[in-house]
A and B are shown apart, each in its own frame.
Chain A
Amino acid sequence: KQEVTQIPAALSVPEGENLVLNCSFTDSAIYNLQWFRQDPGKGLTSLLLIQSSQREQTSGRLNASLDKSSGRSTLYIAASQPGDSATYLCAVLNYGQNFVFGPGTRLSVLP
């Protein structure tokens, strides 16, 4: 059974810092991995999707990497801004199964 964990659970940084959020999964036979952002009380916004054959994906100030063999993914946020404050979730899809989500990392970027 796939299990997904995210470290840290919460993070508070001053504006302008570069930061890394971590996602770990127990079953490395994944089809893809997706990072999401969730604002309080809202739905999930897709940030990046990494297929199993890819090592990383980039979108603007965001970069996500995937290391299947070690069961890890990282989300790198460059030059953080107060508007980046949200909960960040990762989810993994195994062959023939459904997405399994981590508990999320709650990020606060202080002005």
Chain B
Amino acid sequence: DAGVTQSPTHLIKTRGQHVTLRCSPISGHKSVSWYQQVLGQGPQFIFQYYEKEERGRGNFPDRFSARQFPNYSSELNVNALLLGDSALYLCASSFGLAYPGELFFGEGSRLTVL
């Protein structure tokens, strides 16, 4: 069975541009969460989607948005990129909202903003 897949794996953008990151969850999982991880730190929660509805949002500006599609895949969009947005963006899937709650992560999308 395929795990969580993310694309692209690496990308380089310049300040002010827009980026879209994509994630496909494990088959049968209905919840997708997005995390930002800067070098040397633990992942920071950005969004959680369940059954195509936003169920949680972390402390990120409105430049960050996301959505979940009927097939449970998800997109993370970031507008007006800043240098500080350079990070590893991780997508995680889980079966439901809470129980059993185990997260499974993809390999991430490494974003560099110049």
Chain B interfacial residues counted at CB < 8 A:
27
A window 8-51: CB within 8 A of B: 31-32, 34, 36, 41-46, 49, 51
- Determine which residue in B44, B102, B103 has the highest number of CB atoms from chain A within 10 A of its CB, and name it: B103
B98–A31 contact, CB under 8 A?
yes
Indicate if B58 sits at the interface (CB-CB under 8 A): yes
- Determine which residue in A4, A99, A104 has the highest number of CB atoms from chain B within 10 A of its CB, and name it: A99
Q: In terms of DSSP, what is the predominant structure of the interface of chain A? A: strand
Distance in angstroms between the alpha carbons of A46 and B106 in the assembled complex? 11
Distance in angstroms between the alpha carbons of A93 and B44 in the assembled complex? 13
Residues from chain B with a CB closer than 8 A to the CB of A99 are 33, 45, 103
With both beta carbons as reference points, the residue of chain A lying nearest to B55 in the complex is identified as A98
Residues from chain A with a CB closer than 8 A to the CB of B90 are 43-44
With both beta carbons as reference points, the residue of chain B lying nearest to A51 in the complex is identified as B100
Indicate if A89 sits at the interface (CB-CB under 8 A): yes
Residues from chain A with a CB closer than 8 A to the CB of B92 are 44
Distance in angstroms between the alpha carbons of A52 and B40 in the assembled complex? 28
Instruction: List the count of A-B residue pairs having beta carbons below 8 Å apart.
Output: 63
Give, as a whole number of angstroms, the nearest-CB distance from A65 to chain B. Answer: 18
Indicate if B8 sits at the interface (CB-CB under 8 A): no
B104–A32 contact, CB under 8 A?
no
A101–B42 contact, CB under 8 A?
yes
Which of B42, B101, B105, B106 is in CB contact (< 8 Å) with A93?
B101
Which of A43, A49, A101 is in CB contact (< 8 Å) with B108?
A43
Distance in angstroms between the alpha carbons of A49 and B95 in the assembled complex? 14
Which of A32, A42, A97 is in CB contact (< 8 Å) with B107?
A42
Indicate if B110 sits at the interface (CB-CB under 8 A): yes
Indicate if A75 sits at the interface (CB-CB under 8 A): no
Cβ-closest 6 pairs across A and B: A101-B42, A44-B105, A43-B107, A43-B105, A49-B102, A98-B45
| Interfacial residues, chain A to chain B (CB-CB below 8 A) | 4, 31-32, 34, 36, 41-46, 49, 51, 89, 91, 93, 95, 97-104
| Interfacial residues, chain B to chain A (CB-CB below 8 A) | 4, 6, 33, 35, 40-45, 48, 56, 58, 88, 90, 92, 98, 100-108, 110
